[in-house]
Amino acid sequence: MLANQQIVLDNRPRGVASASNFKLVSTPVPALQDEQVLVRHHYLSLDPYMRGRMNDSKSYAAPQPLGDVMLGGTAGEVVESRHPHFSVGDQVVGMGGWQEYSVVNADDLGALRKVDTTDVALSTYLGALGMPGVTAWYGVVKIIEPKVGDTLVVSAAGGAVGSAVGAVAKARGCRVVGIAGGPEKCDYIVNELGFDASIDYKMHRDAASLSAALKQTCPNGVDGYFENVGGGVLDAVMARMNAFGRMALCGMIAGYNGEPLPMASPALILINRLKVQGFIVSDYMDIWPEAMNDLGTLIAGGKLQPRESIVHGIAAAPEAFLGLLKGKNFGKQLVKLC
């Protein structure tokens, strides 16, 4: 019987999350029932939203149960199947969680999806051609709705979502400015990702200083903003938004440890007649084919060049996840298992 190494949520964070919140366990892989598939995971996806689920508080998703395998996206290979639509060797993506194997009820809607790895690496389906890429695409195309010549700003620009935001916006004729932490990331988003400019938020201690840097970098103001952070970064960009600007909010990482996130000048929403929309991409599954087609075209044309930060072995997942929350990753953070 196969042994399955798993990372479970052992206890909830009090403030900042730590490695002690997680526990590595080993359990036997159960025998398959009819219509089930056994998947060996090659990659685990680590994403900021997982931090919010560690808390026992109201959110857009149910809290992660204590003692359960950490939920998350996976990419791997079918190694045993009792389902007619899946065969041994199929490359698949799903939500198998932080473990080496998952037993999947393949008839469940959206539980498992075959992917074509002829021209695209399997890991890409957890990044640029997965949830992060589609999140970026939806926020830019459906909420910000940029016009040629618009200035678009994105926070956490060096991450999996932020980097894809830049590519999608550039393809639509925007001038793109990224906010990132540290000179190495700022150099990366300009010289590798092709952003027009970058701002290092670590060089600015408060929202007023960051807003002044935005004024210099965006002399014509900001038409669209893709928000991943919240807090002082949001305040700084709000002060530079043009009338009838559009803001897509998909993350508030500044508040994931329980910090309050007051908005300094909410009147600016009214004064500038801003469109501000929060969204969770899983609410819009119908747009995935359109988004995937567009993102695939950008990748094939070299306009979206996804970068991955990879650690090896399931035991490395907690520390890699904590590093992600501190912005240590470049592009998509993954755990490679085999």
Tens-binned pLDDT, residue by residue, of the chain (338 aa): 799 999 999 999 999 999 999 999 999 999 999 999 999 999 999 999 999 899 988 777 789 999 999 999 999 999 999 999 999 999 999 999 999 999 999 999 889 999 999 999 999 999 999 999 999 999 999 999 999 999 999 999 999 999 999 999 999 999 999 999 999 999 999 999 999 999 999 999 899 999 999 999 999 999 999 999 999 999 999 999 999 999 999 988 888 787 888 899 999 999 999 999 999 999 999 999 999 999 999 999 999 988 999 999 999 999 999 999 998 999 999 999 98
* CA dihedral (12, 202, 162, 186) positive or negative: negative
Cα-to-chain-centroid distance, residue 253: 11
Structural domains for the chain: 3-127+307-336 (3.90.180.10), 131-282 (3.40.50.720)
> Who's near 268: CB < 8 A, 6+ residues apart?
238, 239, 241, 274
8 Å CB contact between 51 and 15: no
| Per-residue pLDDT reduced to its tens digit, 42-68 | 999 999 999 989 998 877 778 999 999
8 Å CB contact between 275 and 94: no
Measured CA to CA, the distance from residue 71 to residue 176 in angstroms comes to 33
Q: pTM of the predicted model, to two decimals?
A: 0.94
Q: Is 1 exposed, middle or buried (0-12, 13-18, 19+ CB in 10 A)?
A: exposed
C-alpha distances (whole Å) from 49 to each of 74, 250, 282, 328 are 15, 10, 12, 16
| Per-residue pLDDT reduced to its tens digit, 79-132 | 999 999 999 999 999 999 999 999 999 999 889 999 999 999 999 999 999 999
pLDDT reported for residue 260: 81
pLDDT reported for residue 324: 95
Query: What angle separates helix 288-300 from helix 160-171, to the nearest 10 degrees?
Result: 80
What is the CB neighbour count within 10 angstroms for residue 298?
20
pLDDT reported for residue 256: 78
Measured CA to CA, the distance from residue 5 to residue 315 in angstroms comes to 9
8 Å CB contact between 306 and 188: no
pLDDT reported for residue 248: 98
Segment holding 214, helix H or strand E? helix 207-217
> Who's near 289: CB < 8 A, 6+ residues apart?
none
Helix (H, G, I), strand (E, B) or coil at 93: strand
Helix (H, G, I), strand (E, B) or coil at 2: coil
pLDDT reported for residue 58: 75
Amino acid (1-letter code) at residue 146:
P
pLDDT reported for residue 306: 87
Measured CA to CA, the distance from residue 323 to residue 327 in angstroms comes to 6
